[in-house]
Structure 1
Amino acid sequence: MKDIFVLRQRELPYRVIDGEPVQVSFSSEDVFAKIKEENIKFLDLQFTGLTGRFHHTTISTNMFTPKQMKDGLPKLDGSSILGFTSIDDSDLILKPDPSTFAVIPWYEENKTARLLCDVYWGAGRGRLSRDPRGIAQGAEEWVKTAGFDYSAWGPEVEFFVFDKAHWDVLTPYKGQSYSIESVEAPWSQEGTGYPMGLQEGYYPSTPSDTLTPFRNECVNVLSENFGILCDNHHHEVATAGQCEIDIKYDYLTNSADATQSYKFVIRNIAKRFGKIATMMPKPISMDSGSGMHTNVSLWKDDENVFFEEGQDGELSQVGRYFCGGILDHANALCAISNPTTNSYHRLVPGYEAPVYVAWSGSNRSAIVRIPRHFEGRDYAHLKRLEFRAPDPSANPYLVFSSVLAAGIDGVKKKTDPGDQVKEDIFKMTKEERRKHGIGVLPASLGEALLELESDRIFLKPIFKDEVIDKIIELERKDQRDIAVRPHPHEFYLYFDV
Structure 2
Amino acid sequence: MCYDQGAKLPYKVIGGEPVPVSYSAEDVFSKIKHDQIKFIDLQFTGLRGRFHHTTISANLFTPQQMQDGLPKLDGSSIVGFASIEDSDMVLKPDPTTFAIIPWMGNAKTARLICDVYWGKDKGRLESDPRGIAQKAEKYLKTQGFDNSYWGPEVEFFVFDKITWDVLTPYKGQSYSIESKEAPWNQEGKGYPMALKKGYYPSTPADTLTEFRNDCVECLNEYFGILCDNHHHEVATAGQCEIDIRYDNLTNAADGAQTYKYVIRNIAKKYDKVATMMPKPISMDAGSGMHTNVSLWKNDKNMFYDKDDKEEVSQIARYYCGGIMNHARALSAIVAPTTNSYHRLVPGYEAPVYIAWSPSNRSAIIRIPSHFKGEKYSKIKRIEFRAPDPSSNPYLVFAAVQAAGLDGIKKKMDPGDPVYEDIYKMTKAQRVAKGIKDLPATLGEALDELENDRKFLAPIFSNETIDRIIEIERADDHEISIRPHPHEFYLYFDI
TM-score by length of 2: 0.97
**2: CA distance, partners of 1:147 / 1:366:** 29
Aligned residue number for residue 86 of structure 2:
89
Alpha-carbon shift at residue 191 of structure 1 (Å): 5.2
Look up the SS of the partner of 1:471 in the other structure: helix
Distance 1:88 1:174, change over 3 A: same
Q: In 1, distance between residues paired with 2:438 and 2:309?
A: 26
Following the alignment from structure 2 to structure 1, what is the Cα–Cα distance between the partners of residues 10 and 48?
30
Q: Determine which of 241, 255, 258 is the counterpart of 1:258.
A: 255
1:23 CA displacement: 4.5
Q: Structure 2 vs 1, CA of residues 104 and 482 (structure 1 numbering), >3 Å: closer, same or farther?
A: same
> Do residues 77 (structure 1) and 63 (structure 2) align?
no
- Residue 189 of structure 1 aligns to a residue whose secondary structure is coil
Name the counterpart of 1:465.
Answer: 462
Cα deviation digits, residues 158-216 of structure 1 (max 9, x gap): 00000000000111121110000000000001254311000000000000000000000
User: What code does the residue aligned with 1:465 have?
Assistant: N
1:46 aligns with 2:56: no
Equivalent residue for 1:224, pick from 211, 215, 221: 221
2:331–2:386 CA contact under 8 A, matched in 1: yes
Within a 5 Å distance, the mapping from 1:237-252 to structure 2 comes to 237-252=234-249
Matches of 1:152 and 1:14, distance apart in 2: 22
Distance in 1 between residues matched to 2:281 and 2:309, nearest whole Å: 38
| Aligned equivalent of 1:412, options 409, 412, 421 | 409
- Residue of structure 1 equivalent to 2:294: 297
**Where does residue 134 of structure 1 map in the other structure?**
131
- Cα distance change, pair 191–449 in 1 and its aligned pair in 2 (3 A): farther
Cα shift readout 1:8-48 (whole Å, capped 9, x = no counterpart): xxxxx974489973442311111011001111000000000
Distance 1:46 1:233 in 2: 26
Contact 2:9 2:221 in 1 (8 A): no
1:343-365 deviations in Å (ceiling 9; x for gaps):
00000000000000000011100
Gaps of 5+ in 2: 1-7
For the aligned residue pairs, the C-alpha RMSD in angstroms reads 1.3
Residue equivalent to 1:488: 485
Secondary structure of 2:169's counterpart equals coil
Partner of 2:377 in structure 1? 380
Instruction: Tell me, yes or no, if structure 1 residue 29 matches structure 2 residue 13.
Output: no
- Please tell me the residue identity of whatever aligns with 2:211: F
Which whole-Å CA distance do the structure 1 matches of 2:209 and 2:364 have between them? 30
Whole-Å Cα distance in 2 between the matches of residues 192 and 125 of structure 1? Answer: 60
Q: Is the CA contact 1:359–1:368 (under 8 Å) kept in the aligned structure 2?
A: yes
Q: What is the rounded CA distance, in whole Å, between the counterparts of 2:331 and 2:177 in structure 1?
A: 28
Post-superposition shift, 1:312?
A: 2.7
CA distance in 1, matches of 2:22, 2:346: 46
Residue 290 of structure 1: how far off its partner (Å) = 0.1
Distance, in Å, in 1 between the alignment partners of 2:336 and 2:439 is 12
Distance 1:137 1:476, change over 3 A: same
Distance 1:455 1:42 in 2: 45
Q: Distance in 1 between matches of 2:228 and 2:157?
A: 19
Is contact 1:185-1:191 (8 Å) kept?
A: no
Is the aligned partner of 1:474 residue 2:471? yes
Say which SS state the counterpart of residue 85 (structure 2) adopts. Answer: coil
Structure 1: any 5+ residue segments left out of the alignment? Answer: 1-12
Q: Following TM superposition, by how much is the alpha carbon of 1:271 offset from its aligned partner in structure 2, in angstroms?
A: 0.3
Corresponding residue for residue 6 of structure 1: none
1: CA distance between counterparts of 2:457 and 2:77?
27
Cα distance in 2 between the residues matched to 1:309 and 1:343: 37
* Alignment match of 1:421 (pick from 412, 415, 418): 418
Q: Which residue of 1 aligns with 2:352?
A: 355
Question: 8 Å contact 1:182–1:191 — kept in the other structure?
Answer: no
Q: Which residue of the partner structure matches residue 280 of structure 1? A: 277
Q: How does 1:125-164 map to 2 (within 5 A)?
A: 125-164=122-161
- Structure 1 CA distance, aligned partners of 2:132 and 2:142? 16
Pairs within 5 Å for 1:291-330:
291-330=288-327
1: CA distance, partners of 2:17 / 2:59: 33
Q: Which residue of 2 aligns with 1:10?
A: none
Question: Distance in 2 between the 1:442 and 1:20 partners?
Answer: 41
**Aligned pair in 2 of structure 1 residues 359, 239: CA closer, same or farther (>3 Å)?**
same
Equivalent residues of 1:41, 1:112 under 8 A apart? yes
| TM-aligned CA distance change 1:336 to 1:22, over 3 Å | closer
User: Which residue does the alignment assign to 1:205?
Assistant: 202
Aligned equivalents of 2:181, 2:22: Cα separation in 1:
42
Question: Is 1:403 aligned with 2:413?
Answer: no
User: Contact 2:322/2:412 (CA < 8 Å) preserved in 1?
Assistant: yes
The count of residues paired between Structure 1 and Structure 2 equals 485
**d(CA) in 2 for partners of 1:20, 1:271:** 32
Assess if the C-alpha contact under 8 Å between 1:184 and 1:192 holds in 2: no
Conserved? CA contact 2:9–2:99, under 8 Å: no
- 2:3 corresponds to which residue? none
Contact 1:184 1:191 in 2 (8 A): no
Question: Which of 156, 164, 167 is residue 164 of structure 2 equivalent to?
Answer: 167
Most deviating of 44-53 and 305-314: 305-314
- After the TM superposition, which residues 102-141 of structure 1 pair with which residues of structure 2 at under 5 Å, given as runs? 102-141=99-138
- Cα distance in 1 for partners of 2:307, 2:148 equals 23
8 Å contact 2:11–2:21 — kept in the other structure? Answer: no
* Corresponding residue SS for 2:56: strand
| Separation in 2, partners of 1:14, 1:383 | 30
1:329-340 → structure 2 map (5 Å cutoff): 329-340=326-337
